[in-house]
Structure 1
């Protein structure tokens, strides 16, 4: 199977079947050379990053209704010609060859004609005049999502959210390995980095490296984690002697960091609905030498009286739309407005359930990796309406000085254009009675 066919199969699975890009590509690239695998990932992600404009280009050169496979062949071809610096002749010829390879030889002439027309046109189609439609096409966000972001944040902030599509590759040290030791190790290897803005244990790498083959990773001294995710853990303020619940714990990165912050001195219970993800979490904790952690296969939305008032702190890092995660353009194409409503209902149900597990005087933290206000402030507001025994907590002491003014009501929305991080929401509550 050719490299471009692997890319086509992956792209089709992601766009047409809603497959997760990272998992789909991991499967697709098995057995490929490192060079070819990198090309496949680059082609698929580049196509997804520019999908709205690519479709606009195709629409201006192709007539009639397109076969799904032919549309995806053209998407890959246009991406190569317009965004990947592939010579026009190669983009055309390889698209024709790909059509024949997948049994669409009868349409190879059509593919050739469209691609040559695209390549002759050196200018991209003009962006729409209407402001929100322009953002949708320019940054490749579905129109309904662009409408919602503009309604929630205003057009300037919404554009900042949509424009920030690249992301830093961050790692951190896991106790007892220290940040100073990690800095020395990176310097010794000649790996450029900058220290985190939000978390002192964060290292944002300039070029990245194959972390899974890195001895520091396999030995459990480091792991990959965004600064946003690290801040979620710091909101719990883990300390020795505390009993903590991580209610939606897979794949275990936050569970491990809470253990690390308490120098393995706290006791952590984790809930995970699916057994295979429970096993994944256990493997993460084992690799990172996170002790005193018990992972239970359990639905966090279903109340269990055995845990009533049992924990000093509870983290609800809820299932969400993932619209704040950078580097995953596929996420926004797979979502609908109805899915956001369903997620916000589930988030509130989990939060209401787990609120009963917190001791009086204890801490409840709610977090998501989305910029959707329905899932964030909407859930925060409704939780306080339904739980008069809770009050907003104080997050200022865990934030850098320049972020503290935004932590009103014990909550903060991280945004890439302001914080250089992924778009997480974090809210802290204190149980009063």
Structure 2
């Protein structure tokens, strides 16, 4: 018999302590274990819920623990976080089951801590008022803004400080609240194989509730979509899954048929294939990435979608390639970044200290510099990140424009989950008015 909590525990342990990626770990787990849709949903919900609320949960674990938090074993701490999440954020009817099931879990993984874990959980659940307070706690006892943000919304001190440096506290709270929500699913019809009418008809047959976001580009949002990768429409290449903000990046670049386009940091390839679709599979797209494994994912997508104008190359974008000088009509420069805009998709990012942030910014600047040299005169360059704040976005662009008078700023925008219903994103569009 499958024990869901053991699966949850193993995934969380791998992500929290072995520093694995949550989405990859979940997907690999589901490939190896035969689980129905509801069970996968239950596991995913708790995994993402715990990872998105660790600081919040730890605050209350400390209140009910008789020993110092630093002395609690890693395994016991994780099991307590799982239990507190279920009790606080899920239906109260699971409280008794949650206590018993998680005590069984600690017996298996850290038997010495079973009495301690049992005592903490019994103490917390002994009075329903304890749970009600935890569900709606405002942390009014946490006075300092950075500490309040990192405790209430479960982010690292670096992220809390950075957001408060860039935005007002009210905006920061709204932003982080939205990053605890499950994101909508966005799909895009493949214009090489279908049209908006057939796409709508097929979705209606499946019984999916959906909203058309952009009819011309066949962009649709859904609340859920069971087993997308197993869906016949998906297998036939009738649509792709991609966040709307990521699609906006390509729409801002606006590639046309017969143009030569460069995607300088392409993997896993969603932007490259969207560009090919907009170009009606006519022209040329050069897709570069440092990861050969990720480029294979892109190549698989091109086969599924019926695209043959994309050529992939393993490449370090920080190293200048003279053969690309003044070669491309348009360049997409979606650089590596801190990922603060995608906390709801990769909640493990919440706790990163980013001691290497200057190295990340230096890489961004070097890639942007190289990308600018690959662009033809009168060409269009789009720089984008899935992060928020001026440090990796407008500051990078301002410095670039100061050093490159032949580039003209056409637009730059940040997108936010609570305002735009997308991932957090920055997109900047520039024109090259002359060669160096």
Output the TM-score relative to the length of structure 2: 0.91
Q: Deviations over 1:271-315 (max 9, x none)?
A: 011211121111111111122111111111111111111000000
* Residue number in structure 2 paired with 1:175: 191
* Residue number in structure 2 paired with 1:150: 164
43, 46, 57: which one aligns with 1:43: 46
Structure 1 contact 141–162 (Cα < 8 Å) conserved = no
Higher mean Cα deviation, 152-161 or 136-145?
136-145
Counterpart CA distance in 2 for 1:206 and 1:280 is: 25
Runs (4 or more) in structure 1 with deviation over 4 Å come to: 197-200
Structure 1 contact 228–422 (Cα < 8 Å) conserved = yes
Q: Secondary structure, in 3 states, of the residue corresponding to 2:17?
A: helix
Q: CA RMSD in A?
A: 1.8
User: CA 1:257/1:371 → structure 2, altered by over 3 Å: closer, same or farther?
Assistant: same
Structure 2 contact 343–349 (Cα < 8 Å) conserved = no
* Residue number in structure 1 paired with 2:300: 283
Higher mean Cα deviation, 66-75 or 147-156?
147-156
> Cα distance, 1:19 vs. partner?
1.2
Counterpart CA distance in 2 for 1:40 and 1:358 is: 46
User: CA 1:275/1:332 → structure 2, altered by over 3 Å: closer, same or farther?
Assistant: closer
* Residue number in structure 1 paired with 2:74: 68
Counterpart CA distance in 2 for 1:296 and 1:289 is: 19
Structure 1 contact 322–331 (Cα < 8 Å) conserved = no
Counterpart CA distance in 2 for 1:21 and 1:139 is: 19
* 2:403 corresponds to 1:375: no
User: CA 1:240/1:54 → structure 2, altered by over 3 Å: closer, same or farther?
Assistant: same
* Residue number in structure 2 paired with 1:80: 86
* 2:362 corresponds to 1:345: yes
Q: Secondary structure, in 3 states, of the residue corresponding to 1:338?
A: coil
> Cα distance, 1:199 vs. partner?
7.3
Output the TM-score relative to the length of structure 1: 0.92
Higher mean Cα deviation, 67-76 or 319-328?
319-328
Counterpart CA distance in 1 for 2:350 and 2:308 is: 39
> Cα distance, 1:126 vs. partner?
5.1
Q: How does 1:373-412 map to 2 (within 5 A)?
A: 373-393=390-410, 410-412=411-413
Counterpart CA distance in 2 for 1:338 and 1:161 is: 23
Q: Secondary structure, in 3 states, of the residue corresponding to 1:60?
A: helix
Structure 2 contact 106–113 (Cα < 8 Å) conserved = yes
Gaps of 5+ in 2: none
Gaps of 5+ in 1: 394-409
* 2:172 corresponds to 1:161: no
- How many pairs align? 416
288, 296, 319: which one aligns with 1:302: 319
Structure 1 contact 142–333 (Cα < 8 Å) conserved = yes
> Cα distance, 1:209 vs. partner?
2.6
Counterpart CA distance in 2 for 1:19 and 1:311 is: 37
* Residue number in structure 2 paired with 1:406: none
* 2:117 corresponds to 1:111: yes
Q: How does 1:7-406 map to 2 (within 5 A)?
A: 7-29=8-30, 30-34=32-36, 35-62=38-65, 63-64=67-68, 65-85=71-91, 87-102=94-109, 104-120=110-126, 121-122=130-131, 123-124=133-134, 127=139, 128-165=142-179, 166=181, 167-176=183-192, 177-196=194-213, 200-325=217-342, 327-393=344-410
Higher mean Cα deviation, 269-278 or 196-205?
196-205
Counterpart CA distance in 2 for 1:367 and 1:61 is: 45
Counterpart CA distance in 2 for 1:317 and 1:137 is: 31
Structure 1 contact 340–374 (Cα < 8 Å) conserved = no
Higher mean Cα deviation, 242-251 or 149-158?
149-158
User: CA 1:174/1:197 → structure 2, altered by over 3 Å: closer, same or farther?
Assistant: closer
Counterpart CA distance in 2 for 1:387 and 1:326 is: 33
Q: Deviations over 1:57-78 (max 9, x none)?
A: 1011112211111100111111
